[in-house]
Structure 1
């Protein structure tokens, strides 16, 4: 019998993507919250799993894995029947990988840059002008995302995939960055539809705790 998955993370972070994926997969898994406020990400035991002191971290048997894209692809590849990750070497798989790369390096990066220079970095390291640059970069990336979207109901066509988890989750982050209105009406409608999925709702509930 396969070992259950164990996910270390924090609510409203990149770990939400993995909780969502685990719920879509309908597999056994355990949620271990990490409190940044209490400094748990700097504890020796956690740093042994991820020296960067960041979430998410997945443990599966002897494997300990960080970085949300790597974890997402690992999980989906282990459960190919779900269709979350099309086979390697196919056009469908390439399109999903393109979305994963674009979302994490373009769309999300602009949001994270604004967040760092708004609250995440120590005050002395924040540069107000960078926030404006990040907003402009997000607007540009959101316009590209709108153009990349095909004719299907999902990011990569007719099937819900990892691309939808990453894209919809990042769109939801734009609310906290006060950049939701930079998304096209079509992307807003798309994101709402994905975030209404039962698996996402369960993931958020699990992360929020009792």
Structure 2
């Protein structure tokens, strides 16, 4: 059986890929090479992680990797070309724009950018945006244990990881259902195995 390689520390978006592979019960090797290290740049010229290596072919960007794995193994996704997949992809893009991007901007102005380029006051507006995004998500999420309803899909992995980042960055989670959702996701065996790394 082909073994995937996941490049990048589990403290980064590589966590999403590691968790996806655990959910899919696929064998993999984990190489926690840091961003912009020689090992990473050789696979992804931008130096960003994660990188998934599949049979010698590197694939970058956590969301692209998640969807590739879901499509390849026929799990955690709706079939391409269906309305359910369109809704799933729309939800994925919403989370990237309204959760991931907000938290990443906060991180950049906390420790990523050179100190002279950081704008500390930006975090107040980002926290406000994050609260508004949670309210919008409340109206978009399906009734059921997962964002799309009865089955876990790619957006669930992205959202749960964003909630981890939000807590670490002290971004309040103001919607009660999100706390219940987060606890439910953290109880998943595949999540626990990933977290134990």
Q: TM-score, normalised by structure 2?
A: 0.94
> 1:118·1:126 contact (CA, 8 Å) conserved in 2?
yes
- Which of 168, 174, 177 aligns to 1:183? It is 174
Spell out, residue by residue over 1:124-155, the C-alpha distance to the aligned partner (whole angstroms, 9 max, x if none).
Answer: 11112211121121111111111211212110
Runs of 4+ in 1 over 4 A off after TM superposition: none
In structure 2, runs of 5+ residues without a counterpart are none
* 2:49 is equivalent to residue 55 of structure 1: yes
* 2:21 is equivalent to residue 18 of structure 1: no
* 2:102 is equivalent to residue 89 of structure 1: no
Q: What is the rounded CA distance, in whole Å, between the counterparts of 1:188 and 1:101 in structure 2?
A: 22
Q: TM-score, normalised by structure 1?
A: 0.89
Structure 1 position 197, deviation (Å): 0.7
Alpha carbon RMSD of aligned pairs, Å? 1.4
Q: What is the rounded CA distance, in whole Å, between the counterparts of 1:31 and 1:183 in structure 2?
A: 34
- Which of 91, 96, 99 aligns to 1:99? It is 91
- Which of 40, 57, 61 aligns to 1:67? It is 61
Which residue does 2:141 correspond to in 1? Answer: 149
Structure 1 position 87, deviation (Å): 0.4
In structure 1, runs of 5+ residues without a counterpart are none
Which residue does 2:114 correspond to in 1? Answer: 122
Structure 1 position 178, deviation (Å): 0.5
Structure 1 position 46, deviation (Å): 2.2
